[in-house]
């Protein structure tokens, strides 16, 4: 430590001391911006300019090259149109169901496989594979497994327990639920892993003290473990809810919104409107609404966490 | 004697019943989460294929599906995916370490604003800006370049990623400043200091942003869907859909292609597991 401390405190070499004091800070700033420039430029071009363009377009009706200002009409369309309100409802149901399912299952599994043993490490690694698997592949695999006939894989397994074959993705009544099932399968190990990281941080002496006091396992869980996991829980909730609201690939690959619009979510509808029907104005407004919902959710959870912490 | 290694204390419970329960639970977990993937792996090499189900047990071994995949352009899609992920990741990592160097080392006016911008970009996933992004890519403002149907169109938008920049910045803050000041006094320039002193010290963090960037770019779906209207430019994930219902070849080619799309990210994960877990918890905790 000694030599480096003296080095940092040493006065600048005499040769440069005449120029340095005035130029150094400005040159440092210039270097800082130069190093930041690539990131800022890419963000400007591929995040902020599109966002601004989208905002402007959401107030316009766009026909080929002409665009006319229509104020809030596009937003009105989205909030009153039946297809859109249904899609928003499906998005919310899917987001809530996936989030709740993954959180509960993730917590239970995390508690079950907590521990330093080597074989638990293997179980964790194996269970985590769905999270790193490309979404498109997950969806293709599940589409095959959800085959509606009684030879379909999930139906065969249900058959072992004496259940009747289900139509899954092929029925209006179960398509959304089937997508949710796949999303929970992929989301659970992620939540499990984050909960496990949170469990490591729980004070072990508290467990010991509880045992001395003769507390049951349930009481220990209820009064020590779960309260310690609360911050982790909120982070996971926000992340999952946001991810759930902007779900696209899962639905696009599994059902593309069908049958009969029963699993259409906001993003698949926006995609169809924007790229297939050329309704750029309405589609942009859909994107902006999604952004606002995301923003609102984040702020809300932050405020709730602050209030809880205080 | 009770041990307190975990909330439920399951590991401390021995005896035949507890062991049996544990084996069933753990085996069940492994089966549920890897079963579908193992089914895909086995079926892709299987001789006879039931289009409605996977075989968990191989029925003969054949490479037919992978041979037929060539006729369906699968290897072209795979190549496209590798080009995009290769150049995309290189760009993303360079951009991240440069930005992180600035944010962790320099003090300048507007730094708080820049940090805010980085965080804001994480609220703007491509789903939200998909429609306008396609217009911007078709005619870049000022430059007037058309990136639709080009690799650049799939690479440049993933070039800057807030997550990587923030993870890198946090890590660089921990690298002692003295080393680099010593180099500077020895007369090394800014870039040389950066590449010879700072970057080698950041190897663990480079692993984290490398493996996360790889998975992130490999998993891109909407972006290639927007940028590549022609099959010749498709990446493997978006091509899967078109391989689905081919009367002549059945689902064999789809399974082979799915497996090829699955393997790189699984291999990256298994090879960089420690870095992956580190990034996972740091990313989640810091939002």
Tokens representing B267 are 């291999």
Write out chain A residues lying below 8 Å of B178, CB-based. Answer: 4-5, 7-8
- Which span out of A132-136, A150-154, B141-145 was modeled with the highest average pLDDT? A132-136
Enumerate residues 6+ apart whose C-beta is below 8 A from A83.
Answer: A261, A264, A269
Q: Give whole-number Cα distances, A226 to A110, A165, A199, A222, in Å.
A: 12, 38, 9, 6
- Inform me whether the pLDDT recorded for B52 exceeds 80: no
Q: Give whole-number Cα distances, A134 to A12, A99, A245, B214, B273, in Å.
A: 54, 19, 19, 11, 17
- Inform me whether the pLDDT recorded for A5 exceeds 50: no
Tell me the pLDDT tens digit for each residue of A163-199.
Answer: 888 888 888 888 999 999 999 999 999 999 999 888 8
Tokens representing B213 are 């960037």
DSSP string, A116-171: --HHHHHHHHHHHHHHHS-HHHHHHHHHHHT-SSTTSHHHHHHHHTTPPP--GGGS
Is B240 in contact with A140 (Cβ distance < 8 A)? yes
Dihedral (CA of A147, A150, A156, A159) sign = positive
Question: Which of B101, B141, B273 has the CB atom closest to A35's CB atom?
Answer: B101
Rounded CA-CA distance B189/B195 in Å is 10
- Inform me whether the pLDDT recorded for A259 exceeds 70: yes
- Looking at per-residue confidence, does B185 or B32 come out higher? B32
Write out chain A residues lying below 8 Å of B221, CB-based. Answer: 135-136, 248-249, 252
Q: What is the mean pLDDT of residues A259-279?
A: 89
- Inform me whether the pLDDT recorded for B287 exceeds 50: no
Is B104 in contact with B172 (CB distance < 8 Å)? yes
A245 near B CB under 8 A: no
pLDDT for position B286: 39
Confidence of residue A3 (pLDDT cuts 50, 70, 90): very low
Write out chain B residues lying below 8 Å of A236, CB-based. Answer: 284
Question: Which of B128, B251, B268 has the CB atom closest to A287's CB atom?
Answer: B128
Domains present along chain B, CATH in parentheses = 16-62 (no CATH), 67-285 (1.10.3720.10)
> Of A169-183, A232-246, A296-310, which range is least confident?
A296-310
What is the length of chain A? 310
Is A137 in contact with B121 (Cβ distance < 8 A)? no
- Inform me whether the pLDDT recorded for B63 exceeds 90: no
- Inform me whether the pLDDT recorded for B3 exceeds 70: no
B273 near A CB under 8 A: yes
Confidence of residue B248 (pLDDT cuts 50, 70, 90): low
Q: What is the mean pLDDT of residues B34-41?
A: 91
- Inform me whether the pLDDT recorded for A73 exceeds 80: yes
Q: What's phi and psi for B250, nearest 5 deg? A: 65, -150
Is B242 in contact with A140 (CB distance < 8 Å)? no
Residues of B (187-216) whose Cβ lies below 8 Å from A: 190, 215
For a pLDDT cut of 70, what percent of chain A falls above it?
91
Is B116 in contact with B272 (CB distance < 8 Å)? no
pTM: 0.87
- Inform me whether the pLDDT recorded for B269 exceeds 60: yes
- How does the average pLDDT of chain B come out, rounded? 85
Confidence of residue B125 (pLDDT cuts 50, 70, 90): confident
Q: What is the mean pLDDT of residues B2-30?
A: 80
pLDDT for position A310: 62
Q: What is the mean pLDDT of residues B182-211?
A: 85
Count of beta carbons in the 10 Å neighbourhood of residue A71: 9
What is the enclosing helix (H) or strand (E) of B103?
helix B74-105
Return the axis-axis angle of helices B74-105 and B203-218, rounded to nearest 10°: 140
- Inform me whether the pLDDT recorded for B177 exceeds 50: yes
A11 near B CB under 8 A: no
Is A114 in contact with B6 (Cβ distance < 8 A)? yes
Best CA proximity match to B237, nearest among A188, A146, A129, A141: A141
Tokens representing B112 are 């708080």
A17: left (phi over 0), alpha (psi -120 to 50) or beta: alpha
pLDDT for position A166: 85
Is A262 in contact with A175 (CB distance < 8 Å)? yes
Tell me the pLDDT tens digit for each residue of B229-245.
Answer: 888 999 999 999 888 86
In chain A, the residue whose alpha carbon lies closest to the alpha carbon of B165 is A39
Tokens representing B260 are 């090829």
Print burial letters for B146-181: b (CB count within 10 Å at least 16), e (below 16).
Answer: ebbbebbbbbbbbbbbbbbbbbbbebbeebeeeebb
Tell me the pLDDT tens digit for each residue of A39-68.
Answer: 999 999 999 999 999 999 999 888 767 788
> Of A95-104, B105-114, B225-234, which range is least confident?
B105-114
Tell me the shortest Cα–Cα distance from A6 to chain B, in angstroms: 10
Confidence of residue A254 (pLDDT cuts 50, 70, 90): very high
pLDDT for position B137: 92
Tell me the shortest Cα–Cα distance from B48 to chain A, in angstroms: 15
Residues of B (57-86) whose Cβ lies below 8 Å from A: none
pLDDT for position A25: 56
Question: Cα B122 vs. chain centroid, distance in angstroms?
Answer: 16
Enumerate residues 6+ apart whose C-beta is below 8 A from A295.
Answer: B123
pLDDT for position B246: 59
pLDDT for position A18: 44
Tokens representing A26 are 């400005």
Residues of B (14-53) whose Cβ lies below 8 Å from A: 25-26, 29-30, 32-34, 36-37, 39-40, 50-53
Angle at A225 between CA A222 and CA A226, to 5 degrees: 60
pLDDT for position B126: 80
pLDDT for position A150: 80
Best CA proximity match to B193, nearest among B182, B202, B204: B182
Tokens representing A274 are 């924007």
Tell me the shortest Cα–Cα distance from A81 to chain B, in angstroms: 20
Write out chain B residues lying below 8 Å of A13, CB-based. Answer: 185
Is B222 in contact with A248 (Cβ distance < 8 A)? yes
Tell me the pLDDT tens digit for each residue of A132-146.
Answer: 999 999 999 999 888
B177 near A CB under 8 A: yes
Best CA proximity match to A178, nearest among A248, A128, A242, A250: A250
pLDDT for position A110: 92
- Looking at per-residue confidence, does B180 or B78 come out higher? B78
Q: What is the mean pLDDT of residues A108-127?
A: 88
Is A134 in contact with B261 (Cβ distance < 8 A)? yes
């Amino acid at each position: 430590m000694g030599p480096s401390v003296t080095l940092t405190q040493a006065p600048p070499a005499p040769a440069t001391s005449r120029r340095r004091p005035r130029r150094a800070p400005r040159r440092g700033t210039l270097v800082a911006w130069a190093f930041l420039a690539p990131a800022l430029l890419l963000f400007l071009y591929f995040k902020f300019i599109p966002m601004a363009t989208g905002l402007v377009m959401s107030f316009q009706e766009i026909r080929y090259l002409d665009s006319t200002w229509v104020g809030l009409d596009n937003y009105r369309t989205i909030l009153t149109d039946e297809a859109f309100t249904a899609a928003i409802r499906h998005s919310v149901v899917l987001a809530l169901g996936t989030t709740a399912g993954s959180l509960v299952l993730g917590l239970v599994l995390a508690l079950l496989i907590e521990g330093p043993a080597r074989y638990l490490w293997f179980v964790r690694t194996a269970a985590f594979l769905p999270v790193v698997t490309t979404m498109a592949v997950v969806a293709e695999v599940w589409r095959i497994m959800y085959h509606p006939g009684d030879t379909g894989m999930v139906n065969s397994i249900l058959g072992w327990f004496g259940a009747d074959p289900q139509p899954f993705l092929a029925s209006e009544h179960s398509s959304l639920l089937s997508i949710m099932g796949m999303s929970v399968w992929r989301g659970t190990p992620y939540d499990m892993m984050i909960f496990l990281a949170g469990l490591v941080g729980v004070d072990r002496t508290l467990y010991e003290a509880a045992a001395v006091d003769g507390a049951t396992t349930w009481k220990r869980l209820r009064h020590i473990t779960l309260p310690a996991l609360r911050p982790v829980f909120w982070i996971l909730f926000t992340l999952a809810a946001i991810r759930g609201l902007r779900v696209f690939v899962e639905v696009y690959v599994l059902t593309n919104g069908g049958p009969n619009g029963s699993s259409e979510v906001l993003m698949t509808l926006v995609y169809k409107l924007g790229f297939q029907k050329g309704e750029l104005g309405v589609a942009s407004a859909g994107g902006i609404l999604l952004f606002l919902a995301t923003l609102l959710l984040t702020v809300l959870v932050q405020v709730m966490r602050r209030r809880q912490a205080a | 004697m009770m041990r307190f290694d975990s909330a439920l204390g399951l590991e401390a419970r021995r005896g035949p019943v507890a062991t049996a329960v544990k084996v069933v639970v753990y085996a069940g977990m492994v089966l549920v989460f890897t079963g579908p993937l193992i089914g895909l792996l086995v079926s892709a090499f299987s001789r006879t294929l039931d289009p409605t189900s996977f075989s968990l047990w191989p029925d003969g071994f054949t490479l037919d599906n992978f041979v037929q995949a060539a006729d369906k352009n699968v290897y072209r899609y795979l190549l496209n995916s590798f080009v995009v992920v290769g150049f995309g990741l290189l760009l993303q990592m360079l951009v991240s370490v440069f930005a992180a160097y600035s944010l962790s080392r320099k003090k300048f006016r507007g730094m708080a604003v820049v940090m805010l911008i980085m965080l804001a970009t994480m609220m703007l996933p491509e789903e939200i800006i998909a429609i306008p992004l396609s217009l911007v890519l078709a005619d870049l403002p000022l430059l007037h370049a058309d990136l639709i149907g080009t690799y650049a169109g799939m690479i440049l938008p993933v070039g800057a990623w807030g997550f990587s920049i923030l993870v890198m910045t946090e890590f660089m803050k921990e690298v002692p400043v003295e080393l680099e000041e010593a180099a500077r006094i020895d007369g090394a320039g800014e870039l040389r200091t950066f590449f010879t002193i700072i970057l080698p010290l950041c190897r663990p963090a480079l692993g984290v942003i490398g493996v996360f960037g790889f998975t992130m770019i490999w998993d891109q779906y909407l972006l290639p869907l927007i940028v590549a209207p022609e099959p010749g430019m498709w990446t493997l994930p978006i091509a899967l859909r078109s391989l689905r219902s081919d009367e002549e070849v059945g689902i064999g080619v789809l399974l082979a292609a799915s497996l090829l799309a699955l393997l790189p990210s699984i291999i990256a994960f298994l090879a960089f597991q420690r870095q992956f877990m580190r990034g996972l918890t740091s990313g989640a905790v810091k939002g």
